[in-house]
Structure 1
Amino acid sequence: MELIFIRHGQGEHTLNLPESLHMDNPSLTIQGRGQAKNLRSSLPLAAGDVLIVSPTFRTLQTALIWSENIECNRWVHPMVAPRIFPTRLAATTLPCDELLDFERLQDEFPTFAPAPNLTSSLWVTGINVLCEDEFTLLAEEFIDFCRSFQRERIYIVTHDGTITSYRQQISGQQLTREDFLLETEYFHLVVE
């Protein structure tokens, strides 16, 4: 199975650092919307494809724009929510990385289904500050969730630290922040 991790388009929280990191639920910028639209030609989706998205506004916007008019399977999963990389003890989640609550998710993104059978705490806290051991266990469960679709390829719209965490976990390579993808760049990982 091939997992294709895509970083979301440019978000408003990146425009006036570090102050903008304290925005709640930042949207895509105009440039970010254009980047998401460009995914249609650089990484076209087809009917029946599986698209898994982080429960943040900017990732859901990216996925919605990219998948417009495509009858694909759209899921939201907290195991691809924002993640600090590298992990730091005593780190806290910034407002820009807080997860959307269920009500807003359902109201604004009704074509995306929440992943089933997860603990409610994961929907609240996400994976941002999980220790490596806990992340490793949950990452295996997430990969099993991906396998359950029995597809050759799964598309995942997520965040730079999350992508790098999965890349390191799956490949066994030691990575750094220098390995972060740019907006709407993508990375293929093969999982046996």
Structure 2
Amino acid sequence: MELVFTRHGQGEHTLNPPESLHMTDPGLTEAGILQAKSLRKQFPLSETELIISSPLRRTLQTTQIWSEGTDCTKMVSPLVSPRMFPQNPEWETLPCDTLLPREKVTEEFNDFFIEEQSGEWWSKGINKISEQAFARIAKKFLNRCKQTGKKRIYIVSHDGTITSYRQYITGEKLSRSDFPKETVDLKISF
């Protein structure tokens, strides 16, 4: 199975850091919208494919724009929500990384299927959990991906989360310099 991790398009929260990181529920910028549209050419989707999105507006918008005009399956999972990388217990979760409640996702992005098996993570997310807890979650998430029977699954997520999964899957020691850029893909087979 191949996982294709894609970082969301440029978000409003990246325009004027560090102040803009304190925005709540930032969406895509105009550049982010264009980046999401470019994914259609880079990775054309069909009705047989699955995209798993983080439950934040910018990732949901990226997925929605990318999949426009197709009947692919779109799922939302808190197991690919923002994650600090590397972990530091002194750091706090930023407002820009707060998960949308399930009800809001259902209301505003009603063509997405909500992954219910990870219900407990909707309230706390994976941003600050220990490496050991993340390893347990990553193992469960990847097993669920395998159980879909799909040869390729697209995951729209965040730089720290993508890097955390990449480090878990490959066993490589990574750093922030390994973060993917906006809408850049990272393919991992396992």
Q: Which category describes the TM-score, using the shorter chain as reference length?
A: over 0.9
**TM-superposition CA deviations, 1:39-97 (whole Å, max 9, x none):** 00011111110110000000000000000011111100001000000011232211000
Residue equivalent to 1:73 = 73
Q: Which amino acid in 2 is paired with 1:178?
A: S
SS of match in other structure, 2:63: helix
Give distance in 2, aligned partners of 1:185 and 1:128: 21
TM-score, with normalisation over the residues of structure 2? 0.98
Residue equivalent to 2:8 = 8
Task: Indicate conservation of the 8 Å contact 2:74/2:113, yes or no.
Answer: yes
Identity %: 49
Task: Indicate conservation of the 8 Å contact 2:77/2:118, yes or no.
Answer: no
Residue equivalent to 1:160 = 159
Q: Tell me which moved more, 146-155 or 84-93.
A: 84-93
Listed as ranges, the matches of 1:29-68 within 5 Å are 29-68=29-68
Task: Indicate conservation of the 8 Å contact 2:54/2:60, yes or no.
Answer: yes
Residue equivalent to 1:92 = 92
Give distance in 1, aligned partners of 2:119 and 2:60: 21
Q: Which amino acid in 2 is paired with 1:162?
A: T
Give distance in 2, aligned partners of 1:74 and 1:119: 17
Q: Give unmatched runs, 5+ long, in structure 1.
A: none
Give distance in 2, aligned partners of 1:124 and 1:33: 28
Q: Give unmatched runs, 5+ long, in structure 2.
A: none
TM-score, with normalisation over the residues of structure 1? 0.97
SS of match in other structure, 2:92: coil
Give distance in 2, aligned partners of 1:119 and 1:53: 15
